[in-house]
Structure 1
């Protein structure tokens, strides 16, 4: 992986972490980062879980050209944690 791709991945990870903190007041642990093929899409997928709760997993995809969240999926346990905090999903 070249330096530019590494910077894109790191910037996307920061955007994902900030989104989850600002939107749901969550501290998360990142377990994997994957850049999708550039010819198909401009997206980095970030995988992780709510810190301290490894069963509360998520995947969030960030468009590295726009800096916006494109997709957000989560486990049933993650959903329950957000519902307990008062979020309607």
Structure 2
């Protein structure tokens, strides 16, 4: 049986994952997939770090840190060329 905290964390991850996918689609017209999630507890900063890649190219890494209460992007990285229209994203020059 799944505990309430695990269920709550799963719900947070699903909502933030959906937000992140839409974020990249709306701003960069890019399809992305998030594969790793790190939910930070409320006493730290109520955020989720998500790592993933551009769909169809697993070498094009992306990362978003999102506040799971306000759905504000705190910071992120994206492949070279994705950062031109959003100052909170930094180009990921590590390949």
Summarize deviations over 1:32-74 as a string: whole Å, max 9, x none: 1110132111101111011111111011011011012111113
Q: TM-score if structure 2 supplies the norm length?
A: 0.76
Aligned length: 81
Q: TM-score if structure 1 supplies the norm length?
A: 0.80
Q: Does 1:24 align with 2:42?
A: no
Summarize deviations over 1:17-37 as a string: whole Å, max 9, x none: 100000000011221111013
Which one has more relative contact order, counting CA pairs under 8 Å at least 6 apart? 1
Q: Which runs of 4+ in 1 moved over 2 A?
A: none
Worse overlay, 20-29 or 2-11: 2-11
**Partner SS state of residue 48, structure 2:** strand
Kindly indicate which of the two structures has a greater share of residues assigned to helix: 1
Q: Please, which runs of 5 or more residues in structure 1 have no aligned partner?
A: none
Q: Please, which runs of 5 or more residues in structure 2 have no aligned partner?
A: 86-95
Please give the alpha-carbon distance, in whole angstroms, between the structure 2 residues aligned to 1:8 and 1:43.
Answer: 10
